[in-house]
Amino acid sequence: MRIRPTLNWEPAGDLPPATTDLTPVVEAVRAGGVVVLSGAGLSTESGIPDYRGEHGSLRRHTPMTYQEFLGGESARQRYWARSQLGRRAMGLARPNGGHRAVTALVRAGLVTGVITQNVDGLQQAAGTPDVVELHGSLDRVVCLDCGAESARAELDRRLRAANPEFEAVAERHRTAQVNPDGDVELPEEAVRGFHVVPCAVCGTGVLKPDVVFFGENVPPERVARCRALVDGADTLLVLGSSLTVMSGLRFVRRAADAGIPVLIVNQGPTRGDRWAAGRVELPLGEALATVVAKTGAGAADGGQ
């Protein structure tokens, strides 16, 4: 199934009203068997903007699509130059209270699975094991020709060696705001002349971050793993996602069709509200700290 590159969604018709009452979420979590589906909103308190919130990155930034990335060397040059700078900013982000709360709920046995749409690795850094990275990770790189996988840190070393002059560019733009996909805005003159390196294994292959771009397929084995988690859940809890793209929304619809309650904690309406038993509109860090306290899950000690 191909994900259509839906970048924005506008509510149509009457959606169920939101509440600030966390009681249904607390009761569901206390009962256990919860599977979490998280989105960019969970990382905003770590300094990474979401896509579609009040200060979302889509207000100033259009993510590169899969088709654009494949379409030409200039697009890949632009992506890797911006990503080279964005990775440094992303590397400064640390797990926040929301990430740590999810870890606490996992360790308490109340959350039995975590699916994240985020590619920043912060949930794993908070100490949560076995996170399913629905959209992949910025920490990995894959060759589109031979399929070899490598660490982004190794590519960083090679790109630095191939672009020694880029350090001056990076210094001039070090305050540029990072986007959820690890990209930053750079003027064209800063990108021009950036050298993209080929795969180190086959010597000629095109390298791509191991993330699902807009317009790209989620690997079927990953989809199957997520379906299995959702099918085995007593409750699906969505945290910080507008559910605009079908890659996440389909699991909400699947749960609702199977009679599995869906609860959403998100600031702003979501595309999944009509299938949800309720949506709580509160800041995630505050809301999840309350859930941890009221369920007796204790504080997580993972992450910094």
How far is 178 from 184, CA to CA, in rounded Å?
5
**Which one of 61, 99, 135, 195 is the catalytic residue?**
135
Please report which helix (H) or strand (E) contains residue 34, including its range: strand 34-38
Which among 94, 40, 12, 10 is positioned nearest to 238, based on CA atoms? Answer: 40
* Helix, strand, coil shares, percent, the chain, to 5: 40, 15, 45
Max distance between CA atoms of the chain, in angstroms, equals: 57
Length of the chain: 304
Please list, in sequence order, all residues whose beta carbon lies within 8 angstroms of the beta carbon of residue 27, skipping any fewer than 6 positions away. none
**Rounded to 5 degrees, what are φ and ψ at 67?**
-65, -40
Query: Residue 135 catalytic?
Result: yes
Active-site residue set = 135
